[in-house]
A and B are shown apart, each in its own frame.
Chain A
Amino acid sequence: MFDERNLQLFIRALEETLFLVFGTGLFVLFIGLAIGFLLFASEPGSLFKDRLWVKVFHRILASINDIARSIPFIILLILLIPFTRAIVGTMLGAKAALPALIISASPFFARVVHMALRDVSKDTIEALESMGASFLTTVKVIFKEALSTLVSGLTLTLVTLVGFMSAAAVIGAGGLAYLAYEYGKFGNNYPLMYVSIFTILFIVFIIQITGDFIARKLDHRSKSKGA
C-alpha cells in the first residue's frame, strides 16, 4: 500500500508542514515580540511614562490582541477567506493557511512575551536605572533576563501552531494533517494516515525537546540544574 507515489505525497506534505511551522513561526516570532514588548512597556509603572495616551494605547492594543486571540482558529480561517483570496490568490495549499495561522498565533505569542517580560524583576530594572543605563541598554538586559522564559513560550507557540495547522487541513491547506485526513479517512489508505500522524507527533516531540533543552541552558535563576 505504501508505494513510490505515497512516498512522494508524504515528502511533499512533510515539506509543506515544515514550511508552515517554521515560516509562520518566523512571522509570529517577530510580530509577537513587537506586540508583547509594547504591551509590557506601556503598562503602568513600566518603561514608558505614565501618560494618558500611553494608557489609551495599552488598552487598545491589549483589546485588539485579546479579541484576535479569542476567536476560535477554525472560525478565523473561514472569516479570513476573502482576505486570503485577495492577498495569496488562492484558498488551497500551504500558503493559503499562512494569514490565518499568523493572525491566530501572533497574539498568543504576544501574551506569552508580555508575561515573560513582566516576570523580569522590577528590582533589576531599578538597578539599571540607578546605574544610568540608556533605554536601549535597559531593554536589552530585560530581554536577556527573560530569554529562557521566551524560549519556553516560543516552544509552546510552535506546538500550538502544529495543532492549528491540523485544523487548517480541513479547508485543504495541505501538509501532513491534510494527507492523513484526505488519504487516510477518505482513501482508506491507513498506512499513509498512520505515518503522517506519527510524523506530526514526532515533529511536536522534537520541538518540545529542543525548546526545553535550550530554555534550561539559558535559565540561571535556580540552582537545581547541577551546572
Chain B
Amino acid sequence: MIQLQSIDKTYTSKKTTFHALNNINLSIHDGEILGIVGYSGAGKSTLLRIINGLILPEHGQVIVDSVDTNQLSLGDMRRMRQSMGMIFQHFNLIFSMTVKSNIMLALSIANYPKDLREKSIFELLDLVGLTGKENRYPVELSGGERQRLGIARALSNHPKYLLCDEATSALDQKTAQDIIKLLKQIQEKTKITIIFISHQIEIVKDLCTRVVVMDQGCIIEDQSVKALFTHPISSITKSLIRSLVYEPKDISKEIYELIYDHKNSDSMTLSDMIKIYQVDVNIMFAKTLELKDEVIGYLYLQIEGANKEQALAFLRDAHVEVNRYV
C-alpha cells in the first residue's frame, strides 16, 4: 500500500513559482489499477515521480508498505525503487544494448540471482510477446515492441508496483489498445498494483478500476471508474468525458444527457416516459462506452412538452442519471 500525505511540490525559478502539487492526499491499495488523468501541467507526472522518489516533495510523507521514504538513505531508496517498475511515454530504453542486454541490465542492477537471469529473460520476453527478438537493438523494434520491452524491463525484478507514465501516449490507437490488453493480462496473473498516468481518458477507462482526476496540482475527483463515467462531479471530468462521448455543436438548444448502466438498460423506461407524460423527444446522439467490467450508455435528447419536469423525474426514479447538458 502506498500512502501520500499532504504532499506539496513547487518549482521555483528566478521569476516565478509554480505549484506542481498542492496538498495531495492519496492512498493506493494493493492490487488496484489506479488511473490518474488530467490535462498537461496538472501535476500527474510529478506525482508519479514523487512515489518512487525521483522527485522529492517539499512537504508531506510518502509511505510505501509502512515505510516513510523520506527517512530512507540513498542506498535504501535505490532498493525501494527496485521493487517498483516504471515505464515511460518514450520508452527510455538503452539504445546501445540489445533487447536481452536491456533486461539483463535491470536484472543485474537488482542483484537478481545470476544463475536465474537467463531463464528469467526468456520468461519475460514470452510474457510480453517478444520471443525471438532478444538480439535486436531497440531501434529495430516498432513503437509497440519498444514499449513491450519497457514493460519486460520494468517487471524483471518482480516488482509489487508498476508506475506507468503516459505509457501509451506515443503509440497509435491500435497499438495502445494492445499494450493495455497486455497490462490487463499481467495484472490478472500477478496482481501487481498499477498506477497509470494518462491524459487520455479513453485509455484509462479500459484499464483502471479507480480514477483520480487532477487539475492545477490538486486532486479534484477520486472515484471508481464506473462512478466517474456515470456521476462525474467536476467540470474537468465532465469536459474530459464530453470530448470522448459527444460535443454538442448547437448550444442554443436544451439538451439532456441520460446515462444508463446495466441496471436500467434492459427496461423500456424512455418509451414509458413518452407515453405517460405525452412529451416529444428528439434523439440528438447516442453512444455506448465499454469500461473495464461494464458498458455504459449515453443518450442525448431534446424534450418538449408541458410535463417535461415530471418526465425527467420519472427517469431519475428509474435510476437513469439525468443531466442538463447544454
Q: Enumerate chain A interface residues (CB-CB to B < 8 A).
A: 121, 123-124, 126-134, 137, 141, 144-145, 147-148, 218, 220-223, 227
B284 contacts across to A, CB distance below 8 A: none
Does A121 contact B79, Cβ atoms closer than 8 Å? no
- 12 contacts across the A-B interface (CB closer than 8 A): A126-B88, A129-B81, A130-B86, A130-B163, A131-B81, A133-B109, A141-B94, A144-B94, A144-B97, A220-B137, A221-B139, A227-B137
For residue B130, which residues in chain A have a CB less than 8 angstroms away from its CB? none
Q: Are A223 and B78 in contact (CB under 8 A)?
A: no
Question: Residue A130 contacts which of B52, B97, B138, B140 (CB distance < 8 angstroms)?
Answer: B52
A96 to chain B, nearest CB (A): 40
Given the known inter-chain contacts A131-B110, A221-B139, please indicate yes or no for A123 contacting B82, CB distance below 8 A: no
- Give bound CA distance, A218 to B96, whole Å: 8
Quick one: which of A127, A144, A218, A222 has the most chain B CB within 10 A?
A127
The answer, among B79, B80, B94, B109, for a CB contact under 8 Å with A145, is B94
Residues of chain A lying within 8 A (CB to CB) of residue B80: 132
Contact residues in A for B139 (Cβ distance below 8 Å): 220-223
Indicate with 1 or 0, residue by residue over B172-203, a CB within 8 angstroms of chain A CB atoms: 00000000000000000000000000000000
- Residue of A with least CB distance to B111: A132
| C-alpha spacing A133/B54, complex, angstroms | 12
Contact A220 B106 (CB under 8 A): no
Nearest CB of A to B118, in Å: 19
Closest chain-A Cβ to B83's Cβ sits at a distance in Å of: 9
Nearest A residue (CB) for B76: A132
Cβ of A121 to closest chain B Cβ, rounded Å: 7
A88 to B163, CA, bound (A): 60
Instruction: Pick from B77, B79, B88, B153 the residue with the most CB of A within 10 Å.
Output: B88
Residue pair A126, B92 in contact (C-beta under 8 Å): yes
Contact A132 B109 (CB under 8 A): yes
* Per-position binary interface string of chain B over residues 59-96, scored 1 when its CB falls under 8 Å from any chain A CB and 0 otherwise: 00000000000000000011111101010101011111
Which A residues lie within 8 Å of B318 (CB)?
A: none
- Of A131, A148, A222, most buried by chain B (CB within 10 Å of CB) is A131
Q: In angstroms, how far is the closest chain B Cβ from the Cβ of A188?
A: 54
**CA A130 – CA B105 in complex, angstroms?**
13
Find chain B residues with CB under 8 A from A127 CB. 86, 88, 92-94
Compute how far the CA of A129 lies from the CA of B54 in the bound complex, rounded to whole angstroms: 7
Q: Give the interface SS of chain A, mostly helix, strand, loop or mixed.
A: helix
Query: Please, what's the 1-or-0 string for B104-143, where 1 marks a CB less than 8 Å from any CB in chain A?
Result: 0110111000000000000000000000000001111000
CA distance in complex: A121, B110 (Å): 22
Smallest CB gap from A133: residue in B: B109
B92 touching A144 by the CB < 8 A rule?
A: no
The 9 closest A-B pairs by CB, nearest first: A127-B92, A132-B81, A132-B78, A130-B86, A132-B82, A123-B92, A220-B137, A133-B109, A144-B96
Which residues of A lie under 8 Å from residue B81 when comparing CB positions?
Answer: 129-132
A199 to chain B, nearest CB (A): 36
Residue positions of B touching A, CB distance < 8 A: 52, 54, 77-82, 84, 86, 88, 90, 92-97, 105-106, 108-110, 137-140, 153, 163
For the complex with contacts A132-B82, A220-B139, 17 further pairs of A-B residues with Cβ separation under 8 Å are A121-B92, A123-B92, A124-B92, A127-B86, A127-B88, A128-B109, A129-B54, A129-B81, A130-B81, A131-B81, A131-B82, A131-B110, A132-B81, A132-B110, A133-B109, A145-B95, A222-B139
Give chain B residues whose Cβ lies under 8 Å from the Cβ of A130: 52, 54, 81, 84, 86, 163
Docked Cα-Cα span, A218 to B137, in Å, equals: 11
* In-complex Cβ contact of B90 among A123, A144, A218, A223 (8 A): A123
Q: Please, how many angstroms separate the alpha-carbon atoms of A126 and B90 in the complex?
A: 12
Distance of B234 from chain A, by nearest CB (Å): 31
Question: Please, how many angstroms separate the alpha-carbon atoms of A134 and B52 in the complex?
Answer: 15
Q: How far is the CA of A134 from the CA of B77 in the complex (A)?
A: 11
Which residue of chain A is the closest to B163 with respect to CB atoms? A130
Evaluate contact between A134 and B105: CB separation under 8 angstroms. Answer: no
Note all chain A residues with C-beta closer than 8 A to B88. 123, 126-127
Set of chain B residues within 8 Å of A141, measured between Cβ atoms: 94, 105
Bound: A126/B88 CA distance, A? 10
Contacting pair B140 A131 (CB below 8 A): no
Q: Which of B82, B109, B153 contacts A137 (CB 8 A)?
A: B109
Measured between beta carbons, the chain A residues less than 8 angstroms from B163 are 130
A131 touches B96 (CB 8 A): no
List, in ascending order, chain A residues with CB within 8 A of B79's CB: 132
Using Cβ atoms and an 8 Å threshold, which residues of chain B touch A222? 139
B94 touches A124 (CB 8 A): yes
* Distance, CA A131 to CA B92, complexed state (A): 12
- Complex interface: chain A residues within 8 A of B84 (CB): 130
CA distance A126 to B91 in the complex (A): 11
* Residue on B nearest A225 in the bound complex, by CB: B139
Given A123-B88, A137-B109, do A145 and B96 touch, yes or no (CB 8 Å)?
A: yes
Q: Answer whether A126 and B96 are a contact pair too, CB < 8 Å, given A132-B110, A133-B78, A133-B109.
A: no
